[in-house]
Amino acid sequence: MAGEDRAASEGREFYKQILDNASEGIYFVDRDRRITYWNRGAERISGYAASEVVGMRCADNVLMHVNAAGERLCGLDTCPAARSMRGNEPCELELYLHHKDGHRVPVVTRVTPIAEPGGEVVGAVEVFNDNTVQVEARQRLEELEREALLDELTGLGNRRHAEIHIEARIDQLKRYSWPFGLLYFDIDRFKDVNDAYGHAVGDRVLRMVARTAQGSVRTFDQVSRWGGEEFVAIVENVREPQLGKIAEKLRRLIEQSSLTGDGLNIAVTVSVGATPGKPDDSVESLVERADHLMYLSKQAGRNRLTLS
């Protein structure tokens, strides 16, 4: 018996090493959706160490999944793991998890129920991958660093980077009629955050908003820090209805992001102005129009979108 126990233990350790070294995030939950195992891939993608999450549920201020509309997915009727276990069927979907640093990360998640030999479901395994195109992002950052177009705090392009790309999109619109739009968004009451928590926390909020914004648009769209707490997003190949949907998705995902831990629980919102580019636009006229629309959102109560 001792030999069999040792062999079984060695077998479990062997498979644990395989799971720990997988590039995907992998974790197990029991019937109550409590996390029982958390691999290194999950640590890398989410920022949470296994010691911080094992024994907790995703809804316990850990991953707090939301969909593209910013709706929470941690209820019994909306949780992918609960639904998979209840129907004893695997499921796959795209969603956004809450990173330990506060921002939202787009992931593709696959949930498979775990059943005992008799057929009773006792838990589930979730496998998730970062859905951002990391190689393209690294190449983009390297290019920005080479050309001194990088905002060091947020990792986004800076104002000059945005101006170059806006000018290029206007030129394409004039030459080929390729439509695009501009989002101009500003963090609501950001001064209150700095006054209450200090500039170091304010910088973390700026990074959280920047990363969530970058993850909320498509891989070929450009998000840049315009200055202070103001950002712009250049949204390619869209007309007004789709531009509004992308802008609203960005607003909702930022609203659902938060800085937690270390005694903090900080959530912020943004006011957004969105406008399609016009063939007779200059960089200045387009940005001024989007900026004006953003201020209309502020005047209307903040945390909203104005599209025109």
Question: 10 pLDDT exceeds 50?
Answer: yes
DSSP string, 204-217: HHHHHHHHHHHHHS
> Pick the residue with more confidence: 59 or 268?
268
Is 145 catalytic? The answer is no
Q: Are residues 151 and 115 in the same domain?
A: no
Here the tokens at position 40 are 């290194």
Q: Are residues 125 and 139 in the same domain?
A: no
CA torsion through residues 278, 283, 289, 295, sign: positive
Contact 132, 138 (CB under 8 A): no
- Residue 204 to residue 216: CA distance in whole angstroms: 18
Question: 1 pLDDT exceeds 80?
Answer: no
Final residue of a structural domain among 79, 101, 130: 130
Helices (H), 23-158: 40-46, 50-53, 80-87, 134-146
List, for residues 21-74, the tens digit of each pLDDT value: 888 999 999 999 999 999 999 999 999 999 999 999 877 878 889 998 999 998
Q: Are residues 122 and 138 in the same domain?
A: no
Q: How far apart are the first and last CA of the chain?
A: 75
Most confident segment among 34-38, 75-79, 134-138 = 34-38
- Residue 163 to residue 6: CA distance in whole angstroms: 64
The CATH number of whichever domain residue 161 belongs to comes to: 3.30.70.270
- Residue 220 to residue 236: CA distance in whole angstroms: 7
Final residue of a structural domain among 130, 156, 172: 130
Q: Percentage of the chain with pLDDT > 70? A: 92
Final residue of a structural domain among 98, 130, 162: 130
Q: How confident is the model at residue 202 (pLDDT cuts 50, 70, 90)?
A: very high
- Residue 214 to residue 99: CA distance in whole angstroms: 14
Q: How confident is the model at residue 115 (pLDDT cuts 50, 70, 90)?
A: very high
**SS3 of 302, please?**
coil
pLDDT score, position 181:
98
Q: Are residues 125 and 211 in the same domain?
A: no
- Residue 245 to residue 69: CA distance in whole angstroms: 10
Q: How confident is the model at residue 134 (pLDDT cuts 50, 70, 90)?
A: low
Q: Are residues 113 and 165 in the same domain?
A: no
pLDDT score, position 203:
97
Query: CA-based angle 137:142:171, to the nearest 5?
Result: 75
> Considering only 75-79, 137-141, 186-190, which range has the smallest mean pLDDT?
137-141
- Average pLDDT score over the chain: 90
Q: Are residues 173 and 290 in the same domain?
A: yes
Q: Are residues 261 and 185 in the same domain?
A: yes
List, for residues 158-189, the tens digit of each pLDDT value: 999 999 999 999 999 999 999 999 999 999 99
Q: Are residues 283 and 154 in the same domain?
A: yes
pLDDT score, position 136:
64
Q: How confident is the model at residue 8 (pLDDT cuts 50, 70, 90)?
A: very low
Q: Give residues with Cβ within 8 angstroms of 199, minimum separation 6.
A: none
205: left (phi over 0), alpha (psi -120 to 50) or beta: alpha
Contact 221, 132 (CB under 8 A): no
The CATH number of whichever domain residue 29 belongs to comes to: 3.30.450.20
Q: Are residues 191 and 101 in the same domain?
A: no
Among residues 24, 43, 163, 229, the one annotated as catalytic is 229
Question: 204 pLDDT exceeds 90?
Answer: yes
pLDDT score, position 127:
95
Radius of gyration of the chain (CA): 22
Q: Are residues 257 and 191 in the same domain?
A: yes
DSSP string, 155-195: SSB-HHHHHHHHHHHHHHHHHH---EEEEEEEETTHHHHHH
> Considering only 13-22, 101-110, 228-237, 250-259, which range has the smallest mean pLDDT?
13-22
Contact 37, 27 (CB under 8 A): yes
> Pick the residue with more confidence: 134 or 30?
30
Q: Strands, E, within 228-279: which ranges?
A: 230-236, 259-261, 264-266, 270-276
Q: How confident is the model at residue 146 (pLDDT cuts 50, 70, 90)?
A: low
Question: 216-246 burial, b for 16+ CB within 10 Å, e for fewer?
Answer: bbeeebbbbbbeebbbbbbbbebeeeebbeb
pTM for the model stands at: 0.81
Contact 188, 302 (CB under 8 A): yes
What is the tally of structural domains in the chain?
2
Q: Which structural domain range is residue 30 located in?
A: 2-130
Q: At what angle do helices 283-299 and 159-176 cross, to 10 degrees?
A: 110
Q: Are residues 148 and 275 in the same domain?
A: yes
Q: Are residues 20 and 154 in the same domain?
A: no
Q: How confident is the model at residue 300 (pLDDT cuts 50, 70, 90)?
A: very high
pLDDT score, position 247:
98
- Span 122-139, mean pLDDT? 77
